[in-house]
Chain A
Amino acid sequence: MIVQRLVVAVVAIFSLFFLYVPSLSVVVFSVNQAKYGLVWKGFSWKWYTSLFHNQIILDVALNSLVVAVISTAVATLLGTALALGMDRFPWPKRLAAAMNFLVHLPVVTPDIILAAALVLCFSLLRQLVPGFEMGLMTLIIGHVTFQLSFVTLVVRSRLAALGRDIDEAARDLYASDFYLFSRVTLPLLAPGIIAGAMLAFTLSLDDFIISFFTHGPDSVTLPIYLYASIRRGISPEIHALSTLILLVTVFLVLLSERLARFRAG
């Protein structure tokens, strides 16, 4: 019994170490004065300052942000409407099943297949619409396509949790269609919509595979830039950039944790 507990504890702590030792060592070495090697030459912010003076990195970070904001806005809008449309109207069973399948498709297909499909789609569109080049536009379309189903699924689970009692009560009190929708359904749904939007935003910032396939030469995002620089070798600037991305991740996780707690009351 005790041996067993010990084994569980040891494996668990080992797993956490295993998850954190590489990232933490990158963080530590990002503030090291030395450019090469393991030697600690003293604390320095210089890699961070050189990062913030690098116009390319600033542009790339801006690209990431623009894509994330626009695609999240579009996906949240479309996804919420889609969730409402699927859940709140009397569709025949077959149609409901087909829509369900379509929405689940991006969740279970490997990203790389979606990416390949999008590449094909864009090349066909290019033949139909001249001037449709790989760029921010294609990147945003690609992101919305997978975000859409995640938003829809999150909002739908909230809709399912709401049930229909409140709608019926509102009807009994002579609420009009518009009043019911804007004053009852939407406010109750808001936490689900916010959670969906947060998820979509994080997924967009985090995405590598689909961006890698659908970006153009002047629409590089942070993960793609990072990947390209890593292929050129290890450097303290990459340490610094990785550390910043890590910090943004920690911030987003904390933020949505807070939101979730706020939501729960």
Chain B
Amino acid sequence: MYDLSESTSPHVSVSSSRVNPAEMEPEFASGLLTWYGGIHRRRDLRMRGTLFLSLGLLWLFVFLALPTTGLIFLSLASRGNFGDLHWTWTLDNYRRLLGFGLFGWSPDYLVILARSLWVGLVTTVLCVLLGYPLTFFIATRGPRWRTWLLFLVMIPFWTNIVVRAYAWLFILSPALPPARIAAFFNFIPPGTALFPGSVATFLGMVSTFLPFMALPLYASIERLDWELLEAARDLYASSVQVFHWVILPQTRPGLTVGVILTFIPAMAMFVVTDLLGGSRYMLIGNLIQNQFGQGRDWPFGAALCLALMALTMVGLISYRRGGVRP
């Protein structure tokens, strides 16, 4: 729907590949410069530019930059008895995160952090494993089929996440075949649903994020050099070798976008885990939601947000360092 080259790739490509046009312009001593065919005073241009920028930047500053920075300070504050904030600087929230509580050390929160990382990782890997065959299949159909199949991937991409989690909730409910079959083989007691639990969580997660992996991947696979594939085959490359040396290097841009679009939100997920995972499958997203919701412990919630930020960074950096590279 939205041209993928327009809507998803700018995140990764625009910032690095853009050359600042100001560098290329010949400049006159008087502060004049040619700019898009006209001769302007630099000061005038900047004044006019500020007009364009001002509202948008102000908005992003007040509602994005300031509050995000505010989270750092909030994580150092503490909570009063009624959920009110005390702006005293303390590291208690981080200590609590690491498991040091009133009753000695317990790894509860660390387990949740590790589980978030694990769920994000497994979801991403499963989406890659399903995403390559799916997009490969679509790309090798005729143009007519391709349009329709691609359309079939786009609809779940844009379908509300609550609707999709609900659909799983329904299909795994006790009266329907999946739960009955599982009960027949004694995996679950008869008359119970297949949720909450890890199976339901991963089903929900993978189906939620598969389109987010598949669409960017498709954008890359569509541009694949198929002759290179044939050449590799002619030279007796095995399928694993073909994938590793021909397909993977050419589809890495799409794969990277897909991994970012999958891993980051998967780790922070709370809708799917809340509905399908139950309390035993709590992720950091659920914990944050609790602190800002019923728990009303905002400072601890802010500390969790920063931990999530750190996990995101760790994940992305290790991917960059060659987690998937040979």
Q: Complex: how many Å from CA A15 to CA B9? A: 24
| A118 in complex: contacting residue of B63, B151, B169, B206, CB < 8 Å | B63
Knowing that A12-B137, A38-B176, A242-B166 are A-B contacts, what are 11 other residue pairs whose CB atoms are under 8 Å apart, sorted by A's residue number? A21-B171, A25-B176, A90-B49, A91-B20, A91-B22, A110-B264, A117-B305, A121-B67, A171-B37, A177-B38, A227-B271
- Chain-A contact segment, one of B103-111, B156-164, B184-192: B156-164
Contacts of B82 in A (CB 8 A): none
| B36 in complex: contacting residue of A171, A226, A256, CB < 8 Å | A171
Q: B10: CB under 8 A from chain A?
A: yes
Q: Is the CB of B10 within 8 A of A156?
A: yes
Q: Contact size class for B?
A: 35 or more
CB distance from A201 to the nearest CB of B (A): 11
Contacts of B211 in A (CB 8 A): 19
CB within 8 Å of B: which A112-133 residues: 112-121, 124
CB distance from B112 to the nearest CB of A (A): 14
- By DSSP majority rule, is chain A's interface helix, strand, loop, or mixed? helix
| A88 in complex: contacting residue of B36, B136, B271, CB < 8 Å | B36
Q: Complex: how many Å from CA A119 to CA B289? A: 11
Q: A56: CB under 8 A from chain B?
A: no
Q: B321: CB under 8 A from chain A?
A: no
CB distance from A59 to the nearest CB of B (A): 18
Q: Is the CB of B170 within 8 A of A226?
A: no
The 29 listed contacts between A and B (C-beta, < 8 Å) are A7-B133, A15-B133, A19-B210, A21-B171, A23-B159, A25-B170, A26-B166, A78-B56, A85-B51, A99-B57, A103-B60, A108-B11, A110-B264, A113-B309, A115-B292, A117-B67, A153-B7, A156-B14, A160-B14, A171-B37, A195-B6, A195-B7, A199-B2, A205-B160, A222-B160, A226-B162, A230-B165, A230-B169, A249-B158
Q: Is the CB of A19 within 8 A of B22?
A: no
Q: A21-B171, A22-B207, A257-B1 are in contact. Are A90 and B158 (CB under 8 A)?
A: no
Q: Is the CB of A154 within 8 A of B6?
A: yes
Q: Is the CB of B45 within 8 A of A90?
A: yes
CB distance from B326 to the nearest CB of A (A): 21
Q: Is the CB of A253 within 8 A of B137?
A: no
Q: Is the CB of A157 within 8 A of B10?
A: yes
CB distance from B202 to the nearest CB of A (A): 12
Q: Is the CB of B52 within 8 A of A260?
A: no
Q: Is the CB of A110 within 8 A of B3?
A: no
Q: Complex: how many Å from CA A238 to CA B160? A: 14
Q: Is the CB of B52 within 8 A of A84?
A: yes
Q: Complex: how many Å from CA A156 to CA B52? A: 14
Q: B154: CB under 8 A from chain A?
A: yes
The interface bits of chain B over 144-187 (1 if a CB of A lies within 8 angstroms of the residue's CB, else 0) are 00000101111110111111111111110101100000000000
Q: A262: CB under 8 A from chain B?
A: no
Q: Is the CB of A230 within 8 A of B166?
A: yes
The interface bits of chain A over 203-227 (1 if a CB of B lies within 8 angstroms of the residue's CB, else 0) are 0011011001100000000110011
Q: B294: CB under 8 A from chain A?
A: no
CB distance from A154 to the nearest CB of B (A): 6
Q: Complex: how many Å from CA A238 to CA B312? A: 34
Q: A12-B137, A148-B56, A209-B271 are in contact. Are A230 and B162 (CB under 8 A)?
A: yes
The interface bits of chain A over 83-110 (1 if a CB of B lies within 8 angstroms of the residue's CB, else 0) are 0111011111100110110111111111
| B163 in complex: contacting residue of A82, A209, A242, CB < 8 Å | A242
